[in-house]
C-alpha cells in the first residue's frame, strides 16, 4: 500500500481514538464525577438512576452537539481556506455568524421565544445567517462570475455592520435581555431540543460527505483558479457550491450553538501540520479534531468553576488562540530550517 495512504490511515485512527478518549473523559468529568466502570454499569442496568439521567440526558446530548458543531465549523474552515487560498479566512469572516447573532438578538429583544417556542431562537439565527449569505452572494456576483476577493471583502464589511447593529441593540436593551444576548453570543452547547441536535448531526455528516466530492477541486484551487480551469474544473459552479456548503454548515452551527470562534480558523492549520495539505485527509482529519477540540473545551467550560458554567466561546478563544500562535511559530521555524 502507498506510504501516503498508510500515513493518512494512521492519522485517521489516531484522531478517532482521540475523539473516543475525549468523549469518555467528558462523560466522566463534572460536578458529579462518574468513573468509567460505573458508566458501563449504568448503560446496561442503570435506567432510572440519577447518574443515568446526568449521563444520557445532560452530558451525552452536549457531547453529540459538540461533535456536530465542531466538525461542521472545521470542515467549513477547510473549504473556505482552500477556496480563497487564504489561511486567515474562517467561517465567521464572511459575516455569517454576525447575521445569525443579529437574528438571535432581535428574537431575544422582541421576546419571540416567549411568545412562540424555544425553537424560535435558533430559527431566528438561521434566518439571519441565510439573509446574510444571500446578500453577500448577490453583491459578489458580477456577470455570472463569483468574485472571490469581492466575496471576502463584502463578508468582512457585512460582519462589521452586523456587529455594530448588535452593539446598538445591546445599548438599548433591558438588563434581562442583555444577559441573554451576551451568553448567546459567547456560545453554548446546552441545547434542550433533541430535534435540533439530530439536525446538527445530520447536516454535519452530510456536509463532510458532500465536501469529499470536491476534495480534488480544492487541491486544484490551491494552485490558483486558472490552473484549476486548465485541469477541466468548472470553477464558477464549484465556487458557488462550496460557498453554499460552507455557509449552510456555519449558519446551522451558529444558529444552534451561538458564536463559537477560532475552531474554523485553528483546526485546519493544526491538522495541516501533521497530516499534510491534501484535502482527502484534511477534511476528515479536521472534522475529527474539531469535534474533539470543541467537546474538550465544553468539558472545561462546565468544570473549571463548577457548579457555575463558562460560555464555551471563552475557552475556544483562549485555547484556539494559543494553538494558532503555536502552529504559526512552528511553521515559521520549519521554514527557517529549510
Structural element, H or E, at residue 145: strand 145-146
Domain boundaries, the chain: 23-190+203-332
Residue 115's CB: how many other CB atoms inside 10 A?
Answer: 9
Q: Annotate 215-252 with DSSP letters as a single string.
A: HHHHHHHTT-HHHHHHTT--HHHHHHHHHHHHHHHHHH
pLDDT of residue 338: 47
CATH for the stretch 23-190+203-332: 1.10.3470.10
What percent of the chain has a predicted confidence (pLDDT) above 70?
Answer: 93
Dist. CA 318–CA 244, nearest whole Å = 29
pLDDT of residue 313: 84
Q: Who contacts 323 (Cβ-Cβ below 8 Å, separation ≥6)?
A: 266, 270
pLDDT of residue 255: 82
pLDDT of residue 8: 85
Convert the pLDDT of each residue in 290-326 to its tens digit. 999 999 999 998 888 877 788 888 888 888 888 778 7
Segments in the chain below pLDDT 70: 1, 45-46, 48, 113-114, 117-118, 143, 191-192, 330-338
HSE of 123, CA atoms in CB hemisphere, 13 A: 9
pLDDT of residue 333: 54
Dist. CA 142–CA 140, nearest whole Å = 6
Convert the pLDDT of each residue in 224-253 to its tens digit. 777 777 777 888 888 888 888 988 888 888
Please choose, from the candidates 330, 331, 296, the residue with its C-alpha nearest in 3D space to the C-alpha of residue 316. Answer: 296
Amino acid at each position: 500500500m502507498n506510504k501516503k495512504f498508510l500515513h493518512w490511515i494512521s492519522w485517521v485512527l489516531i484522531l478517532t481514538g482521540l475523539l473516543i478518549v475525549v468523549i469518555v473523559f467528558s462523560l466522566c468529568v463534572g460536578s458529579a464525577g462518574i468513573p468509567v466502570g460505573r458508566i458501563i454499569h449504568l448503560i446496561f442496568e442503570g435506567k432510572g438512576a440519577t447518574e443515568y439521567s446526568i449521563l444520557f440526558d445532560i452530558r451525552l446530548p452536549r457531547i453529540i452537539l459538540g461533535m456536530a458543531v465542531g466538525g461542521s465549523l472545521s470542515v467549513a474552515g477547510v473549504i473556505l481556506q482552500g477556496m480563497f487560498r487564504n489561511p486567515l479566512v474562517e467561517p465567521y469572516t464572511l459575516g455569517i455568524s454576525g447575521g445569525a447573532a443579529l437574528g438571535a438578538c432581535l428574537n431575544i429583544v422582541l421576546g419571540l421565544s416567549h411568545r412562540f417556542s424555544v425553537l424560535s431562537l435558533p430559527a431566528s439565527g438561521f434566518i439571519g445567517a441565510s439573509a446574510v449569505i444571500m446578500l453577500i452572494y448577490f453583491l459578489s456576483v458580477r456577470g455570472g462570475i463569483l468574485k472571490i476577493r469581492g466575496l471576502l471583502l463584502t463578508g468582512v464589511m457585512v460582519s462589521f455592520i452586523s456587529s455594530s447593529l448588535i452593539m446598538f441593540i445591546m445599548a438599548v436593551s433591558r438588563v434581562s435581555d442583555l444577559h441573554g444576548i451576551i451568553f448567546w453570543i459567547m456560545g453554548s452547547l446546552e441545547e434542550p431540543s433533541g430535534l435540533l441536535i439530530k439536525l446538527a448531526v445530520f447536516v454535519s455528516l452530510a456536509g463532510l460527505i458532500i465536501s469529499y466530492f470536491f476534495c480534488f477541486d480544492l487541491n486544484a484551487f490551491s494552485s490558483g483558479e486558472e490552473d484549476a480551469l486548465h485541469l477541466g474544473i468548472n470553477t464558477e459552479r464549484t465556487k458557488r457550491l462550496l460557498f453554499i456548503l460552507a455557509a449552510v454548515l456555519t449558519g446551522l452551527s451558529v444558529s444552534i450553538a451561538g458564536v463559537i470562534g477560532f475552531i474554523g480558523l485553528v483546526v485546519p492549520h493544526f491538522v495541516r501540520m501533521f497530516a499534510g495539505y491534501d484535502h482527502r485527509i484534511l477534511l476528515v482529519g479536521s472534522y475529527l479534531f474539531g469535534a474533539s477540540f470543541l467537546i474538550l473545551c465544553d468539558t472545561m467550560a462546565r468544570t473549571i468553576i463548577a457548579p457555575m458554567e463558562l460560555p464555551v466561546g471563552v475557552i475556544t478563544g483562549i485555547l484556539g488562540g494559543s494553538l494558532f500562535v503555536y502552529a504559526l511559530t512552528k511553521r515559521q521555524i520549519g521554514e527557517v530550517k529549510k
